[in-house]
Amino acid sequence: MPDFRPFAALRYAPGTDLQAVLAPPYDVLSDDEVTELHERDPHNICHIDVPANQDYAHAGQLLRQWVADGVLTLDPGPSLSVYRLSFSDATGERRQIAGVIGGLEVVDEGVRTGRTTVLPHERTTPKATTDRLDLTRATGANLSPVWGLSLADGLADALSAPGDLVGTARFEGVDHRVERVSDPERVGAIRAILASDDVLIADGHHRYSISRTYRDEVRAATGRTDSAAEQTLTFVSQLIEDQLSIEAIHRLYTGVSADQLRGALGRRFDFAPAGPVTPATLKDMVALGRLVVLWGDGTAEWLIAKPGAFDEVRALDGAWLEAALADSGAVVDYQHGLDEILNRVASGGFVAGILIRPTSIDEIRRTAREGLLMPPKSTFFTPKLLTGWVVRPTEPLPA
């Protein structure tokens, strides 16, 4: 079973202005946003999670200093943390997500512990950077949680009752609330649910991957297989419709001419004028079962799958485009957000952009059950979890 453990968490001391010290995850921050967070407060978690000049040794020293100064305090005993998010999704619908933060077992890829395991969700693009590994080594801690999806029934119901309030914050229209759960009976019930089925990594594949490397380093250095490095900080929510908000990550193309791209797409798609592209277009795409290509000259066309063109391909827009553009020479880039992709196509740096539809919950579940992987950047889970609510030590804190 994928082990999911409570732990004694490092948290900001009671009375801390959480609005000043929490931060979005490192991988969605621009350089300017990192600078603003550094300037917002001398104890903003970004000073450690995204240290200036990638000075990881200083980040580790800073974490230890904050503990010594009482900026961060260690819980008296192990607990889980219920994390609730309340927001309006891209369609304007009000939504609530509840998940639980704990230490998720670090499982080797393709290995099952009993009949259940931790599964990757999609093929990942290569990352040359080792910054998360360097940061973990230097700090002896997990700072940003991986996001996992439990395929087990009952997790959402088990999290419905409130725990002890840790704090609340509001970022970019999203209300965040974290509660501590330390009652052994309730902790045991949550762990039992998570142990009953697979956990799917939704966001944070890179963080989970480097946790394997870090675990192996600790094993080699200590000869132990029971250290805190055997788990990694993870937020887990249930894989059900009303507990997830999934948006698309659209595609941008270079490496070919517009005519070459049109020719490659035309083997499997028919074209039709799409008119002005607005947020309503995204809803129409879902209703009509179509994609939209944005050309560099400012025009847009529907991409309408030819009958039978994708009979041998999974019902995923990313997979359709991989099949349509295989061997075409087209080089793909990725962009979340309608305004953002419109601006990037208009900038002239790309031959075209293609808007795709969000992946359905049913397709995510079916792909997981069949042990398959989706194409890279198939899903964008929103809203993003804030860093700083919980820091999980992976090494003993200095006395």
Same domain, 134 and 59: yes
Centroid of chain to Cα 186 = 27
d(CA 15, CA 167): 9
Same domain, 188 and 269: no
Does any domain span residue 212? Answer: yes
Digit-by-digit pLDDT tens for the chain (399 residues) are 589 999 999 999 999 999 999 999 998 898 999 999 999 999 999 999 999 999 999 999 999 999 999 999 999 999 999 999 998 876 677 889 999 999 999 998 766 555 557 776 555 555 546 889 999 999 999 999 999 999 899 999 999 999 999 999 999 999 999 999 999 999 999 999 999 998 988 888 889 989 999 999 999 999 999 999 999 999 999 988 777 777 788 999 999 999 999 999 999 999 999 989 998 898 899 899 999 999 999 999 999 999 999 998 888 898 899 999 999 999 999 998 888 999 999 999 999 999 999 877 777 777 767 766 666 666 677 788 999 999 999 998 876
Q: Does residue 372 lie in a domain region?
A: no
Shared domain check, 198 and 92: yes
Is 373 inside any structural domain? no
Length of the chain: 399
Q: Identify whether residues 175 and 257 lie together within a single domain.
A: no
Q: Are strands 249-254 and 164-171 parallel, antiparallel or unpaired?
A: unpaired
Q: Are residues 93 and 69 in the same domain?
A: yes
Give a yes or no: residue 362 inside a domain: no
Please report whether residue 376 resides in a domain. no
Total structural domains within the chain: 2
Q: Give DSSP secondary structure letters for 174-230.
A: EEEEEEEE--HHHHHHHHHHHHTS-EEEEE-HHHHHHHHHHHHHHHHHH--SSSGGG
DSSP codes, 36-102:
HHHHH-TT-THHHHS-GGG-HHHHHHHHHHHHHHTSEEE-SS-BEEEEEEEEE-TTS-EEEEEEEEE
What string of DSSP letters covers 223-247? --SSSGGGEEEEEEEE-SGGG-EEE
Answer yes or no: do 164 and 294 share one domain.
no
Domain range for 343 = 249-357
Q: Are residues 177 and 293 in the same domain?
A: no
Going by C-alpha positions, the residue among 80, 70, 132, 126 that lies closest to residue 103 is: 80
Kindly state whether residue 368 falls inside one of the protein's structural domains: no
Asked if 263 and 329 sit in the same domain, the reply is: yes
Which residue, chain included where needed, has tokens 């959402």? 156
Q: Evaluate whether residue 363 is within a structural domain.
A: no
- 387, 325: one domain: no
Let me know whether 82 and 207 are in one domain.
Answer: yes
CATH of the domain at 344: 3.30.1760
CB atoms within 10 A of CB 54: 12
Same domain, 191 and 98: yes
Quick one: 71 and 209 in the same domain?
yes
Residue at 173 is within a domain = yes
